[in-house]
Amino acid sequence: MSHGRGLRLWHALMVVCALLGASGCAQVRAYQRERLTDRIMSFKAEAREDARLTKSFEAREGSTGGNGGAGGGCACN
């Protein structure tokens, strides 16, 4: 992956994030959030599984992150 292409991807990702931020202007009231709290939707419900998988990947691959928090160290093979 070339340096310039990597930069362009960063830019695209930031534009997407900004657009998503701008699109979140529709009001969703508290009483309308039942589906968002469902176990199959909640980011929180999957946090433990995501953290465990990320740690496994870090022991097998050269990158890290994607969950919004650092995992602890180990001598994972």
Partner 1 sequence: MLRHRGIETTTHALRRASLALAVAVLCAASVDAGPVSGVGADPATLHRALREHTLRSLDGRVTTLDALRGDVVVVNFWASWCTPCRRELTRLDALNTEIARRGGRVVAISVDEDIANARRFATRQRLKMMVVHDGPQGLARTLDLSHLPFTMVLNREGQVAFTTLGASEASVQGLVERTQQLVAAHPAVAEGESR
Partner 2 sequence: MQLKPTRGVLVLVTGLLTLTSRPAVAAGLEFDEQTAGPMFRYFADSDHVGVKSYMADYNMTLPSQVGMSMHWNTEQVTIPAVHAPVGSQEAVDAITTASRPISGNAYEDFVKVRNEFQGGVTRGPAELDYYVSNESDYLAQQIAGRYDLDLNEQLNLSFGSSYGWDDIEPLADDDTQTGPSTKTTLHMNAVATQVVSSTTMVRYGVEYNVVEGLQHNPYRNVYAGGTNVPERHPEHRERRDAFVKLNRFFDNRSSVRLSYRLYNDDWGIVSHELSSKLSQYITQGMFVRYQYRYYTQTPARFYRDEYLTTNGVDGYLSGDYRVGPLSAHLFGLSLNFDLGTMASSMPVFGRTALVIGYERYFNSNNYSADFLETGLDFRF
Give the residues lining the site for partner 2 (CB under 8 A). Answer: 1, 6, 9-10, 13-14, 16-17, 20-21, 23-30, 32-33, 35-36, 38-41, 43, 46, 48, 52-53, 56-57, 60-66, 68-70, 72-75, 77
Cβ contacts of residue 55 below 8 Å, gap of 6+? 71, 74, 76
Q: Which is nearer to partner 1, 52 or 66 (CB)?
A: 66
The Cβ of residue 40 has, within 10 Å, a number of other Cβ atoms equal to 7
Contacts with partner 1, residue ranges (CB under 8 A): 3, 7, 10-11, 14-15, 17-18, 20-22, 24-25, 27, 29-34, 37-38
Cβ contacts of residue 24 below 8 Å, gap of 6+? none
